[in-house]
Amino acid sequence: MTRLDDDLLARADAWLAQDPDPETRTELQALLDAARSDDESASAPAAADLADRFAGRLAFGTAGLRGEIAAGPNRMNRVLVAQAAAGLAAYLLERAAPGTTPSVVIGYDGRKNSDVFARDSAELMAGAGVRAVLLPRLLPTPVLAFAVRHLDASAGVMVTASHNPPNDNGYKVYLGGGDHGSQIVSPADAEIAAHILRVAETAFVPDLPRGEFETAPETVIDAYVAATAEAADASPPADAQPRVVYTAMHGVGWPTMSRVLETAGFVAPVLVDAQIAPDPAFPTVAFPNPEEPGAMDLSFARAREVGADLIIANDPDADRLAIAIPDASAPDGFRRLTGNEVGLTLGWQAAERATAAARGEGGAEGTLACSIVSSPGLETIARAYDLEFRGTLTGFKWISRAPGLLFGYEEALGYLVNPGTLRDKDGISAGLAFLSLAARLKAEGRTVADHLDAFVERFGCFASGQISIRVTDLAKITEVMARLRAHPPAEIGGIRVERIEDLADGFGDLPPADVLRVVLDGGARVMVRPSGTEPKLKVYLDTFSDTGSVAERRAAAQAALTALDAGMRALVA
């Protein structure tokens, strides 16, 4: 056995010695036994598996931690979470004013080990001298984001992997104080990561002190429900409300959503029963993300059964929202709206509300914000209502920090309709806001589809699409980005390129990011970037038309989108 193999086995043995989880201990011990065996057919794959698990650490960044639950530093497990909790505690203690005790509120969803990781974090942070408050049960991510501000905590931790595959879990970090409950951004991520690494290099997890934590009172959830219910307009009579189907996608959204709807005066929706209770196995979907093909099939079937006007879907931790409406031309009779369609609809609603609230007071003020990969349509809305617009890097850690924010969204089904309540995307309040709009439209004898037509008539047609390339080797993504930079295209799909903006060194008021923005003739645009949470290269396509009738505008924008899609697929193949 080579020296490298000896080092690898020694590191694995050291990890095993401090792992408190029987499942991952058994898994790692089996790998070590196989790697040490004389049977090369067993030892070679075991050694390769060990090498991957111990090749590095699961990186802590602005998205926190996220990865597959398994043994080793390159996976999510109780050792890694313990080190993260101790490192975050050290960071909070270092930042605390003299004579004060920092605090953290911790939440968790229904994924595998979420409750275990949350309790470990609470005990370890309390043992380090931080006041630790654990939410009373599994709850949506927006409740945790709200609780950071509501409890005036120094930080928040949410244990969730959102819509990732079933065996993943993650660790989101929020900061209070001057960060107002937003997720961490640079330089806080690097500073916390440095503390975590120091803990990993110097501390033995079983020796880390554990302490007594507090359990948050139910009044925290009550306060979230009351504040979120205000995202609705006055509720219409029961007989004028849309017939709604709701799915929680095997997540934690329904108990909280049901209370919010009741408080706001809406009748209970029809449920997709097979998906309403939390289930970490996500048995009815291949991938628990409403954007994925097939994920909403049960919702469509239920909606056909009951003649629904609207489908509302949350992802498993209920920070994202998907909307579907009846569409006779769709194979299932219903069509899921794109994230941009929902975002522009809610953005228009926010602009109208701000204008109505400001009448007689000198005009509306505030900012509409979205990620730079989301539709340029939101900027058009902002201009039409004399509001500010801010384009940010991807993620609500950036969107939520837009000054004077009225509404923010990103095309990946994330919406913030009530920034005075929390500073993260919230699929519950956004769902209520959309339902409130649908109810007003129904009272006026109109549908959501009619409203989408009205948008195109007023602002033009903004069509959007996405190419998502999943890879097994991240070097493929690096190679494609390098090739596009070295050989920029002069045209894509027959549409002339006006200019290419490389955000690698920052652009305008945007910090540096591995993003290429391609501006083309006719208001078309292409954005290319690596995913921040998955092994994917993402390409975002946007086209525009304001010529002719609503149908003609849609047809022209769609034709340009089809051409861009074909052109970009050839470029990134």
Q: What residues are labeled active site?
A: 162
The three-state secondary structure class of 500 is: strand
Q: Which of 103, 100, 77 is nearest to 89 (CA)?
A: 103
Q: Which of 417, 401, 539, 537 is nearest to 466 (CA)?
A: 539
Q: How many C-beta neighbours within 10 Å does residue 483 have?
A: 12
Place of tokens 């009779």: 333
Q: How many C-beta neighbours within 10 Å does residue 507 have?
A: 15
Q: Phi/psi of residue 203, each to 5°?
A: -110, 150
The distance from CA 130 to its chain's CA centroid, rounded to whole angstroms, is 27
Distance in angstroms (rounded) separating the CA atoms of residues 539 and 556: 21
Distance in angstroms (rounded) separating the CA atoms of residues 354 and 348: 10
Q: Which of 470, 474, 490 is nearest to 482 (CA)?
A: 474
For residue 152, which amino acid is it? D
Distance in angstroms (rounded) separating the CA atoms of residues 382 and 223: 31
Contact 413, 322 (CB under 8 A): yes
Omega before 217 within 30 of 0, i.e. cis: no
Distance in angstroms (rounded) separating the CA atoms of residues 197 and 194: 5
For residue 296, which amino acid is it? M
For residue 29, which amino acid is it? Q
Complete DSSP assignment for 362-403: TS---EEEEETTS-THHHHHHHHTT-EEEEE-SSHHHHTTST
